[in-house]
């Protein structure tokens, strides 16, 4: 079943997201800003898209970085992936950060992130006194080798 995503422009110049290829997992999101934003090294900015969505129940939208911005400029997302819950109706805001060495300008209508729609499963929590044993046990970071 293909989920139906309702979308609303919050400003007339907002660009509706779209899949850039027939097999793309993410819809490209564009900046809906009045003027360019200069993002200095290590700076972050909350960049609006001018869009709000209504997801169907049991789905989420994940806001993910664009690989081109990351590769070419070191710009990615502060919280990657960002999660939009099915009951959120506010503007989609992209939290960009510049990990690069030079200032990067984010322009109005520039593609800044991707939106991936994914199913959600909520687990039933069962509190126990003891967890089942595994070969790995409590081995954490790097415990399975290189």
Q: Is the pLDDT of residue 1 over 80?
A: no
pLDDT tens per residue across span 48-83:
999 999 999 999 999 999 999 999 999 999 998 999
Closest CA to 92 of 54, 122, 59, 66: 54
- Contact criterion met (CB below 8 Å) for 59 and 117: yes
146 pLDDT higher than 70: no
Q: What is the mean pLDDT of residues 131-144?
A: 84
Q: Flag whether 112 is in a domain.
A: yes
Q: How confident is the model at residue 128 (pLDDT cuts 50, 70, 90)?
A: very high
Give residues with Cβ within 8 angstroms of 80, minimum separation 6.
63, 64, 65
In a domain, 137, yes or no: no
pLDDT value of residue 86: 97
Residue 131 is assigned to a structural domain of this protein: no
DSSP-derived letter for residue 124 is: P
Task: Report the distance separating Cα 28 and Cα 86, nearest Å.
Answer: 19
CATH of the domain at 24: 2.70.40.10
| Residues across the chain | 146
Give domain status of residue 21, yes or no: yes
CA dist., res. 53 & res. 42, Å (int): 30
- Per-residue pLDDT at 77: 97
Residue 143 covered by a domain:
no
Around 41, how many Cα atoms within 13 Å sit in the side-chain half-sphere? Answer: 3
Residue 137 vs residues 101, 112, 123, 131: alpha-carbon distances, Å: 41, 40, 22, 10
State which residues form the domain around 15.
6-119
Task: Summarize pLDDT for 102-115 with one digit per residue, the tens.
Answer: 999 999 999 999 99
109 is a domain residue: yes
Residue written as tokens 């999660």? 83
Inside any domain, residue 139: no
Q: Are 36 and 108 in contact (CB under 8 A)?
A: yes
Domain count, the chain: 1
Residue 84 burial (10 A CB sphere; 0-12, 13-18, 19+): buried
Grade residue 141 by pLDDT with cuts at 50, 70 and 90: confident
Note whether residue 97 is domain-resident. yes
């Amino acid at each position: 079943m293909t989920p139906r995503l309702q979308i609303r422009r919050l400003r007339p110049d907002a660009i509706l997201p779209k899949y850039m290829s027939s097999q793309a997992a993410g819809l490209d999101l564009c900046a809906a800003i009045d003027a360019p934003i200069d993002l200095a090294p290590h700076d972050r900015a909350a960049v609006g898209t001018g869009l709000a969505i209504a997801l169907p129940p049991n789905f989420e939208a994940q806001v993910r970085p664009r690989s081109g911005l990351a590769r070419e400029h070191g710009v990615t997302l502060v919280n990657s992936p960002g999660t939009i819950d099915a009951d959120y109706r506010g503007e989609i805001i992209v939290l960009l950060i510049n990990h690069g060495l030079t200032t990067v300008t984010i322009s109005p209508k520039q593609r800044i992130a991707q939106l991936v729609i994914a199913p959600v499963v909520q687990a039933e929590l069962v509190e126990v006194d003891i967890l089942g044993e595994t070969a790995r046990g409590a081995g954490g970071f790097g415990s399975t080798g290189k």
